[in-house]
Amino acid sequence: MKVAKFGGTSLANAEQIKKVCQIVMADRDRRLIVVSAPGKRNKEDTKVTDLLIAYAERSLAGEPTEEAKQAIFLRYREIVADLGLSAEIGQAIEAELEEVLANKAGLSTERFMDAVKAAGEDTCAKVVARYLQSLGEVATYINPKDAGMLVTDEASNAHILPEAYAKLATLREREGIVIFPGFFGYSRAGDLVTFSRGGSDITGSILAAAVEAEVYENFTDVDSVYVVNPNLIANPKKVTEITYREMRELSYSGFSVFHEEALIPAYQADIPVCIKNTNNPSAPGTMIVAERGAATNGVSGIASDGGFCSIYVSKYLMNREIGFGRKLLQILEEEELSYEHTPSGIDNISVILRERDLTEEKEQRIVERIRRELFADDVAVQHSLALVMIVGEGMRQSVGTTARATTALAAAKINLEMINQGSSEVSMMFGVKAEEADRAVIALYQEFFGGEEPVVSSSSQAASISV
């Protein structure tokens, strides 16, 4: 049994939905299908989810909502018509949608917003189920409440509850194809709550874990994950196979293919994830697995992310002071800041954090507190840093990866503000000035993938083809 999830562009119009259904029907193991809300049909288009949010905001503000509502209906009407579904089916689906949009009474602002947003996926799932039925398939829409998708009661940021898995596992027994709307579940009290934005990936991952799927296929609009941002390198090498840990490190630093939280259920249940392209389903895609073959290049991806800053603290004999680091981190915690890394020398430590979290006011207060409470000799904040990461499971076993990377960076005249590589890690991190990040990534790509270097895990390509 396979769980297949389709993203917004895969469901943007009838033509795309037809592709989706062809993909589903091409493999009888694809029995649990998770759908997003219809996405953009072209660059200027608006996603249905954004139309729904606009509607909800107007409604909550007491402004006229008719136009906003019609914009939503129009999208689905077009899809229903172009799929050749009957007017009755269209009207029935629209009536249920209208009921959700109208049902504001008795709901808190947050609950109403979540309910309206979720209607995008929910309606889409109904449409897809109807279309598959029209093709003669045994296909059923299922409501997440009936399916047992029990989540925490955090509006717009739900998390799955452990007890949900047992009931969801029974989806395995259902006959035919089950169409499951992504993005939301229900609290123990029965209220609809959505995951964080883009959370249909999470729904798919949870279902794949629950039914112990042989694979979780995540259909999007790219052929595969690339070893580097295609905006920096034309036609970069593709990643055919990558581990959960590698993917997680790359997601963190700018790879936005897959929702960060979505890997967790699949990872915990050891379900391989396959990133595939709805528009090119015969391409092998990228497999995310627990372990890769050993016969691979040490490096599997290069990424960078800007918007970091560092707080540098020095104090003579700091490292003999028990509790210094803990107190420093406590100050950050009291300012509700999470941090990324803490490279340190003997008498100094730098805390790397996201710049967006550090308001000017917080910065002043933190610097002042470090001086006053920790008696630091020196405190300095450096802004506009980028972190460049090389990720690869095989990296540590291969003596010389660091040498190759730093030599390439030195040749590109990039100064390293910071290096961080811990034991048992699958990544190496370089702190550079933001304006040098792109050049750093390009230099590293050329070193590890340019020229004669083989594509990452090309030797295991056969194994990674999932269809």
Tell me which residues in 376-405 interact with its own copies (CB under 8 A): 380, 382, 396-397, 399-400, 402-403
Question: Angle CA(68)–CA(74)–CA(75) in degrees, nearest 5?
Answer: 100
162 binds its own copies (CB under 8 A): no
Does 220 belong to an annotated binding site? yes
- Distance of alpha carbon 443 from alpha carbon 407, whole angstroms: 10
Does 278 belong to an annotated binding site? no
Tell me which residues in 255-294 interact with its own copies (CB under 8 A): 260-261, 264, 267
Q: Which of 95, 39, 102 has its CA nearest to residue 65?
A: 102
195 binds its own copies (CB under 8 A): no
Does 240 belong to an annotated binding site? no
Q: Which part of the chain contacts its own copies (CB under 8 A), choosing from 3-11, 53-61, 308-316, 368-376?
A: 308-316
Among 61, 95, 322, 462, binds its own copies (CB under 8 A): 322
Among 143, 152, 325, 446, binds its own copies (CB under 8 A): 325
Residue type, 359: T
Among 420, 457, 464, 466, binds its own copies (CB under 8 A): 420
Q: With the C-alpha atoms ordered 36, 42, 46, 50, is the resulting torsion angle positive or negative?
A: positive
Among 34, 429, 434, 441, binds its own copies (CB under 8 A): 429
94 binds its own copies (CB under 8 A): no
Among 340, 355, 438, 453, binds its own copies (CB under 8 A): 340
Angle between helices 87-102 and 66-82 (to 10 degrees): 150
343 binds its own copies (CB under 8 A): yes
Which C-beta is closer to its own copies: that of 90 or that of 392? 392
Question: Which residues touch 220 (CB under 8 Å, ≥6 apart)?
Answer: 7, 9, 10, 257, 275, 276, 277, 278
345 binds its own copies (CB under 8 A): yes
Among 348, 446, 458, 460, binds its own copies (CB under 8 A): 348
448 binds its own copies (CB under 8 A): no
Q: What are phi and psi of 328, to 5 degrees?
A: -60, -45
Task: Fill in the DSSP letter of residue 453.
Answer: P
Nearest approach, Cβ of residue 245 and its own copies (Å): 7
- Distance of alpha carbon 148 from alpha carbon 180, whole angstroms: 12
By CB atoms closer than 10 A (0-12, 13-18, 19+), residue 406 is: middle
Residue numbers in the known binding site for ATP are 220-221, 226
